[in-house]
Structure 1
């Protein structure tokens, strides 16, 4: 049984956090032991210190590389590490922020590793860093789209308009958020297609997050025929209102049932209410049950639903004098 299978689950539940560090540095440590043996073997062979100065530089550079290797391996599971620390201190980290933190830590490790190794071999790093000013300007102009995507990702993280697994809708795409990177956000549409949206585009569009609905709306007009009597209309409205206010799946904060307008072909009753559940399947079931109950109310009160129709009126084709003479 390897180090992961033996200790990683224990780490996840927070028993011994040191086990994770030991697991990630296990391979770099083995390589380090071999390098130490090679280094001291070469140092014994060489009689003059100056003759193996390159060996010392190489050994120190190898130590820096091994340390960076272990830290980068550790950042691969840093999300679980940060979540464990957050649970210990009763603090919840955003699921979107954790992958960004891991990638930023890896970038910092690589930059520091390059800087230390360059200084070890006698290169002047300060001049190189100063030269990055003009080079950075040219690079920024050439990669302005990529940089705008990175800043768009930062905006998404800081403002948190959505999180992973949220159902969102924009003018460009609608679906479930699967992943967020520095450059783009991947969204799985309801047709199971995977859409990759640049963060700069997504950050500049209006975003509707349907997963954060506290309740889900149902609204429509119910058209009755103009031949419906006033008493029937009042009875239907009262019974529908009673139906909705006593329905267990309907949120009782907002329930509107009113005669709304005189339509071209019908007397329109306006219905506006919300379901307690935001799940689409539950919403459809509740809507179906309410509509079937409304049909029962109409049938019980002998009220018909109007449909688009046209009435034609014909005038007499002949004058009355002609009709009398015949």
Structure 2
């Protein structure tokens, strides 16, 4: 403590004895590095980047671009250090100043690594290519976020160690508090591992149309905690990853073709030959339609329903787009209506016929009773006259 105080007194005394010529030269050194910084970033750096682009790999180019902004700040830090080093007092040898400059260097390295861990870097492109991930896979941005967070945490820990803070004590504190943290953050940890399951198993990718028991829409993003899904009402629904990982997920975007199935009910008065003719013509319609997938087409007289004779229609469209699918479905519906009209076949509607059977003797008794009532009425009318 006494040595450090004595050193500061000596620095103050040296500062008081400074001459303007020393200050001017030190300031000139700083200006030289400031000008060189502009020349370096505008000409030298761009020239080096253009050379690295000619190499078979883009690793060096990616590293240089990641450290471009940290390098700009580095020249200012270096110019300040050399300017102070020229001054007659030894301020750069003090422990405090050395800690500051070393902390700056660590921060600049961390900044460059943080940029290099971007989801668009060559590092992740090579990784995605090696594990055969598609371009829309969310694993790359997810890993990018994890590595960027790790770089920030490591940079803070190293700077803390530079200033003399006990890293081992910090790690020990994490170990002691780990149980309490795990108990308090069960949901967060569950969501985190749910996100890892979703990304590794790849039930869907960014931009896919999915449906679960809780939500249906297009996947927009996945984070450490949740997945964001844009619904067809154009709202964003945030679903916890732990919930999504435990739900059945229907990925409609994985369809290679889209199903259409329905029943056409005609009246019971339809003759057999007309029914057969309608089935044949609908089947021919689908097989000649350019926008209908030809792998599987089924048109059959299927059921004797309560109020109709049902024709079962089952086929797929080549397109999976929702609007196009509806347009094709409408077109086929109209053409089926034309077929039924041309064949003189009516579409059935829900109805019920009631048939009442009576015994022959009961009918004769009711007829005799009605005749007796009519005779009795006629006699009464004559007596009244």
Deviation of the 1:83 alpha carbon: 6.2
- Which of these residues, 258, 262, 267, is aligned with residue 309 of structure 2? 267
Question: Which segment drifts farther, 113-122 or 203-212?
Answer: 113-122
Aligned residue in 1 for 2:368:
321
- Kept after mapping to 1: 8 A contact 2:203/2:251: yes
Which of these residues, 184, 189, 199, is aligned with residue 142 of structure 1? 184
- Residue 225 of structure 2 corresponds to residue 183 of structure 1: yes
Aligned CA distance change for structure 1 residues 286 and 83 (closer, same or farther; 3 Å): farther
Specify every segment of 5 or more residues in structure 2 that has no aligned partner in the other structure, as ranges.
Answer: 1-40, 375-385
Gap change, CA 1:190 and 1:15, over 3 Å in 2: farther
Distance 1:15 1:241, change over 3 A: farther
Find 2:276's aligned residue among 213, 234, 238.
234
Give the one of 339, 344, 352 matched to 1:310. 352
Alignment match, 1:81: 122
Are 2:243 and 1:207 equivalent residues in the alignment?
A: no
Aligned with 1:319: secondary structure?
helix
Q: Which runs of 5+ in 1 are unaligned?
A: none
CA–CA separation in structure 1 for the residues paired with 2:247 and 2:338: 44
Please give the alpha-carbon distance, in whole angstroms, between the structure 2 residues aligned to 1:257 and 1:240. Answer: 7
TM-score, length basis structure 2 = 0.74
- Residues 1-326 of structure 1 mapped to structure 2, 5 A cutoff: 17=58, 18-43=60-85, 45-47=88-90, 52-76=94-118, 78-82=119-123, 84-85=125-126, 92-93=133-134, 95-313=137-355, 319-325=366-372, 326=374
Judged with a 3 Å threshold, the aligned counterparts in structure 2 of structure 1 residues 48 and 247 are, in CA distance, closer, same or farther, namely closer
| Contact map agreement 1:43 1:52 (CA 8 A) in 2 | no
**8 Å contact 1:83–1:92 — kept in the other structure?**
no
Aligned partner of residue 192 in structure 1, secondary structure: coil
Does the 8 A contact of 2:265 with 2:308 survive in 1? yes
SS at match of 1:185: strand
Give the number of the structure whose residues are more often helix, by fraction: 2
Residue 304 of structure 1: SS of its match in structure 2? coil
| 1:266 CA drift (Å) | 0.5
Q: CA RMSD in A?
A: 2.9
**What is the DSSP-based 3-state SS (H/G/I as helix, E as strand, rest coil) of the residue aligned with 1:306?**
coil
**More displaced, 61-70 or 218-227?**
61-70
Which digits, 9 at most, give the CA deviation of each residue in 1:270-310, with x for residues without a partner? Answer: 11111111111221121112111111111111111000123
Give the Å deviation of 1:220: 0.7
Tell me, yes or no, if the aligned pair for 2:128 and 2:134 is still in contact at 8 Å.
no
> 1:215 Cα deviation (Å)?
0.9
Q: Give how far 1:47 is off.
A: 4.7
User: Number of residue pairs matched?
Assistant: 317
Whole-angstrom distance in 2 between the partners of 1:96 and 1:269: 45
- Please give the secondary structure, in 1, of the residue aligned with 2:94: helix
